[in-house]
Amino acid sequence: MYYVGIDVGGMSIKAGIIDENGKILANQFIVTEPEKPSDEIVEDIARLIEDIVRDYGITISDLNGIGMGFPGSVWDQKGEIVYCCNINLVKVPVCKMLTARLGVKNIKISNDANCAALAETRFGAGRGALNSVMITIGTGLGTGIVVDGKLLTGNRSAGAEGGHMQINFGGPTCGCGKKGHYEAYASATALIEQTRQEMDRHPESILHKVVQLYGLNGKTVFTAAKQGDKVAVGVLNKYIKYVGTGLVNFANLFYPEVIIVGGGVSRQGDVLVKPLQRYVSRNVYGSKYNPKIKVAAAELGNDAGIIGAACLAMN
């Protein structure tokens, strides 16, 4: 079976031909031109699909389905992009448009974080699980929730925005403008700000020296902590609690088999995952009596988007 997965981002639109086992058979990409009229962007996607299918040596009629992931608000059931962040796509019935253009009836769409969660659950860190939660730690904090093997997206697919659950009254301002949201504590942006504040308070620290040598980014605190810097270890321990608090909330709500941590910070591996595992196991309700919830780093990396998009069409 052949499926096409499309991962639409602000910089590029990636396409892959995916088989029923989640294997990428071919991939291509084009540069996103976000200011184009919406119909031209959809036409670019259609041509990308035609190109990758032709270059692989099959035809459009050989496809079992097409799935697409977009940033922003996506109404899955209607096949409509409600609002796409930083791309000129507002109230666009993309599934109908591509069905008319390509003749493929099985075309599905969802939010890109949902696609990543679906890919990791079926073919990545959550293989074998029917229930999972995935957080993607980046500039913001995206979440995807899988219940009984299906995405949980809420009314008009507007739900599963776990980055915006409130974990504190007041507190730092989230990217959405509200205060005290999970994203404002657990995103990579938040970690960088937490690192900057402690670096400024402790100019004698290794953390401060690491910033001077290599600049300030999401890796900085991990680099300094590995060198035994007490200031960096303090920042990291507090960040683990912030991230862990959200994971415990998800665990108490959904009690999944696995919680998957993705995004650039997840590449730190056991340094991040093991303490998060301990935090969740220690704090989840009923942990003495219920099955253990596994915390795992995402495995599929940048491929999760196109694999997960294709998964939409496999349902």
- Tens digits of residue pLDDT in 115-136: 999 999 999 999 999 999 999 9
Going from N- to C-terminal start, the domains of the chain cover 2-119+303-314, 127-298
Task: Tell me the whole-structure pTM to 2 decimals.
Answer: 0.91
Per-residue model confidence as pLDDT tens digits over 201-240: 999 999 999 999 999 999 999 999 999 999 999 999 999 9
Backbone angles phi, psi at 272, to 5 degrees: -95, -45
Cβ–Cβ < 8 Å for 118, 111: no
Which band of pLDDT confidence, cut at 50, 70 and 90, is reported for residue 159?
confident
Same fold, 2-119+303-314 and 127-298: yes
Q: Which CATH architecture has domain 127-298?
A: 2-Layer Sandwich (3.30)
Distance CA 263, CA 39 (A): 31
* Cα–Cα distance list, 19 to 52, 65, 79 (Å): 14, 11, 23
**Apex 133 CA angle, 82 and 275, nearest 5:** 135
Cα radius of gyration (the chain): 20
Residue 175 has pLDDT above 90, yes or no: no
Q: Which CATH architecture has domain 2-119+303-314?
A: 2-Layer Sandwich (3.30)
Report the pLDDT averaged over residues 134-149.
93
Per-residue model confidence as pLDDT tens digits over 47-105: 999 999 999 999 999 999 999 999 889 999 999 999 987 899 999 999 999 999 999 99
CA end-to-end distance (rounded Å), the chain: 13
Per-residue model confidence as pLDDT tens digits over 180-207: 999 999 999 999 999 999 999 999 999 9
Q: What percent of the chain has pLDDT over 70?
A: 100
* Core vs surface per residue 237-249: b (16+ CB within 10 A) or e: eebbebbbbbbbb
